[in-house]
Structure 1
């Protein structure tokens, strides 16, 4: 492979010049079989200098065109290698976009923003219906107009959100106990330079000295976006911030994330804030996904989420053809959702029972919302409008090992896939559930009934489940959104939880719904006293409309609140809310 020193082509650090156009020129001339070497230092990428392209990003706001700093298109056998290279972004821009690429490695780079697209401040005073927050205007420029706090930078101005603002304990560096997603809608008033008062009805009063992460701006650009790619490796990359999801891969095959760090940039005046949303988000991928040796801290959504995309049947045209629709407002326009030869499963509404799995003959996107799909065999006679479709070909196996899933808003990891999953040798310190195995066709439409999962040799710390988020009934929560669960048709099967350590302040370790072939064996459960018990589930294990479960040979250390295995049976249930 040809080794190319990028400084010889005009990409030099610490010049203050935007690098986007030069990258594109070099990539055009060297689209394959090359190693690009970056010199240590700082490289600038500005939204106004970036190219524009329309993309539909999974689980992101639709806001086309997107602004792309570095775009790799149809490139093959490429390595981009840096050492202490800092890519600094300005405004709403996507640092890296990979489309239709093969055999790509990115390594030795950090990504950050000059002015981050979220903010934070110190709580310095509280009253009956207000708190005062000190905000560093140099790092987080802002103004207050008509009782609305706006953060701003060149070319953008965004109001503070009315939900999702998160209090962090200054001593533990974790989300303040029991405070997750309790911060109320507020109006704001500027008291003095750097001091803003928030008026509201606070169900849990924030504490003086703690820090408040203030969210603003849409979920528009990922830090690295990968679409229709194969054999991608991201290695030793540090992401201090992102304007949306951190690493987003959709409809790709074989992905490796090794040595990724997502954490606050302490040197830039940030104490708790890192990413705007999820850390690694994986939608409709194939092959094998490996996540190992990674570190996550201070994210404003889940560290890792792997799932498929369910679509709803809007119309049955004939015995072989249906019109499908993408339902969730942040998951539309997927031209890669299916291809000829892909296996598509039909899911019955209500109980999520699989009716059949058919081979695709033809798939065509009609609009961002709708598509037409035809099958080589006749569709099941039971099929009705409102049933769902799931692409079984676009599902990936997951190996997740030797990672640190630190504290931030929401949960640790989420996954729904029928392919084999191994979760091993990780440390979990989430504020919500550490592991959520969900799946639904009613809200996010994140599909994928699990068939082979092993969760082994992990440590679940005592910060897990100290705040309440949807899907957080227990430290490990197996909670598919099945409105009418049927024990004879479980959504998830063959989930094994063994030889883990749970250091817990409360009773609930495991909740499972619509699951069969569940085992919980050889685990250690240790009592912690860092937080008061507060969860609704009072049993150690709750089995909700589940089949066989093997729970034995577990070791209990300390005054464990519950060793109970509770069973619930229900036939109907209201649909739950979305996982924000």
Structure 2
């Protein structure tokens, strides 16, 4: 039937006519604003994935504002899930099946009603793409079978430098190597032929990157890098009997009896399924969510604007019997803008950092002419990253100094050749000397950050990694991390993370026994842009204030800062503990290098002997550094 539009002036007779038409002939339908999942399922439903997909399509077609779950336990399998090719920064690219595909939505809330969402096998719970005003709330995320291997150390052999583990997760041994196995559909065909391609499908992954967990503290074991690590070679093993595996260790120390060997698999094949993936979206609220496990990052957000997490927790499930929550970062933000707010949240037992905010440098591959360059990604986890679009602003920096080589440049055209090489055309003439390997950073996509009232503990690696030129506020958090509680850095080396800071306030936080993992340069607060030399005192970071924090620590390294212009360390209290033996025995409390305009005042140190003394300070190649009233 053809639709006829009648345009009448809204006079009193017109209003009367419209009223009569409505009363006598036209049945008006009120828009549906809420869909209750209870209306779409029955008690016999075992896999909610196809039902959720159908409900989401209905919600989009009818502009539904809320989808509500009755409280319950719901299972999601990948068998009938929609799939998408996902290029996910800092994760593994590839086809991913998705339980909640939220694509092209505007104004939708999903309320889980305090339900448990349990996922099975290779599936991404949530994909939010090209959407605005999306709210997720009141549910938990977990997997029936984790994306990792766990085993208790039950024997050691010093002569052979080997140890035995009793494994509590699915595994297999083949060709002298150990594999952890995730859940998969065990059809008749799979039973007969599946072994031929399970590794290629990442169903069974080689054991590689690993760490030792302490069952007493539920944290990585002290000085864990002496007995485990993110190695890039295979471990040799021998199956002693079903469930007991002997591992021939390449590390100098063996883990103690009753400690927990944990491995998330082979490098570049162990970041398969993040809990929530967000891309090219805006105005997102995630509230009252417990993420107990993910086979990659808990949340990864790219090229998105205004994201708020409130009581968003990546943590162990109570009495769940596991030692690790997410197998990578709890939350990660790449090339975002607007405001990132994280408050009242708990991040614990991850295999990587709690919060990481940064841009990404692309590397100059070739200068084509006065307006064009080709760039190349280097790290495989950055292949096919959407770096920029027409009209956005970028800048080129030196590969050794990270200092700007150009003024701001406007992108006229972006031409993708393949997953690694892209040609950029600039509006402006490139007059400066550009070298192969120089970095290109996107200045359009940089967010402000507010982190307050959060708790971070028992994870491998760091607490907050922050690289953005917009305002950063970190206040009233509790951090007890294996490495630095806060790290501010940029690099043109392994990860190519960009974003020199200009306005940072770190205040009223408590740092408790951080940097207990050992290995490499460490400090509770570590400011270390990876620049080759500090001799000419060209600074990189700016405007950092660290005040009124409490550092409860067994070790000496409190704050290490390099290449900063404008650093204030004031009113902080250092309280010595005896939780662990000292690792950085020779390091001073505050280490300043290649910086200028530094003020260190009104800080106090309380050693175990009870005598209050001044914090120790060392300074190298720095200008205008003052210290006063420390006691």
After TM superposition, the score normalised by the length of structure 1 is 0.92
Cα gap change, 1:318 to 1:268, in 2 (>3 Å): same
Instruction: Check the 8 A contact 2:556/2:582 in 1, yes or no.
Output: yes
- Which 10-residue stretch deviates more, 514-523 or 541-550? 541-550
Within the candidate set 85, 92, 104, 2:134 is matched to 104
Alignment of 1:510-549 (within 5 A): 510-535=559-584, 538-549=587-598
Aligned length: 559
Instruction: Check the 8 A contact 1:230/1:253 in 2, yes or no.
Output: yes
User: 1:366 and 2:412 equivalent?
Assistant: no
Alignment of 1:127-526 (within 5 A): 127-128=157-158, 129-136=161-168, 140-152=169-181, 153-154=183-184, 156=198, 157-163=203-209, 165-180=210-225, 182-183=227-228, 186-216=235-265, 218-270=270-322, 272-335=323-386, 337-355=387-405, 356-462=407-513, 464-468=514-518, 472-485=521-534, 487-526=536-575
Cα gap change, 1:451 to 1:404, in 2 (>3 Å): same
CA distance in 1, matches of 2:475, 2:34: 37
Alpha-carbon displacement from aligned partner over 1:118-172 (angstroms, at most 9, x marks no partner) = 1322222222122221222xxx122222322222232554244333x22222222
Alpha-carbon displacement from aligned partner over 1:356-394 (angstroms, at most 9, x marks no partner) = 212222223222112222222222422233211101110
The gaps in structure 2 that reach 5 residues or longer are: 1-31, 186-197, 623-631
Look up the match of 2:89.
Answer: 58
**Cα offset for 1:30?**
1.8
**Cα offset for 1:436?**
1.0
Between structure 1 and structure 2, the one with the greater Rg is 2
**Cα offset for 1:537?**
5.5
Alignment of 1:17-32 (within 5 A): 17-31=46-60, 32=63
The root-mean-square deviation of aligned C-alpha atoms, in Å, is 2.0
CA distance in 1, matches of 2:151, 2:417: 46
- Which 10-residue stretch deviates more, 423-432 or 379-388? 379-388
**Cα offset for 1:266?**
4.2
CA distance in 2, matches of 1:60, 1:427: 28
The gaps in structure 1 that reach 5 residues or longer are: 571-580
**Cα offset for 1:551?**
0.6
CA distance in 2, matches of 1:537, 1:386: 36
**Cα offset for 1:186?**
3.2
CA distance in 2, matches of 1:194, 1:218: 22
Alpha-carbon displacement from aligned partner over 1:283-334 (angstroms, at most 9, x marks no partner) = 0000000011111111111111110011111122222222122221111212
- Which 10-residue stretch deviates more, 559-568 or 225-234? 559-568
**Cα offset for 1:561?**
9.6
Cα gap change, 1:287 to 1:213, in 2 (>3 Å): same
Alpha-carbon displacement from aligned partner over 1:411-452 (angstroms, at most 9, x marks no partner) = 111110001000100000101111111111222111101111
Look up the match of 1:46.
Answer: 77
CA distance in 1, matches of 2:496, 2:150: 32
Instruction: Check the 8 A contact 1:410/1:469 in 2, yes or no.
Output: no
**Cα offset for 1:193?**
3.2
- Which 10-residue stretch deviates more, 558-567 or 86-95? 558-567
Cα gap change, 1:33 to 1:94, in 2 (>3 Å): same
**Cα offset for 1:398?**
0.5
Look up the match of 2:23.
Answer: none
CA distance in 2, matches of 1:544, 1:415: 20
CA distance in 2, matches of 1:334, 1:240: 28
CA distance in 2, matches of 1:385, 1:485: 23
After TM superposition, the score normalised by the length of structure 2 is 0.85
Look up the match of 2:102.
Answer: 72
CA distance in 1, matches of 2:248, 2:414: 52
**Cα offset for 1:84?**
2.5
3-state SS of the aligned residue for 1:209?
coil
Look up the match of 2:28.
Answer: none
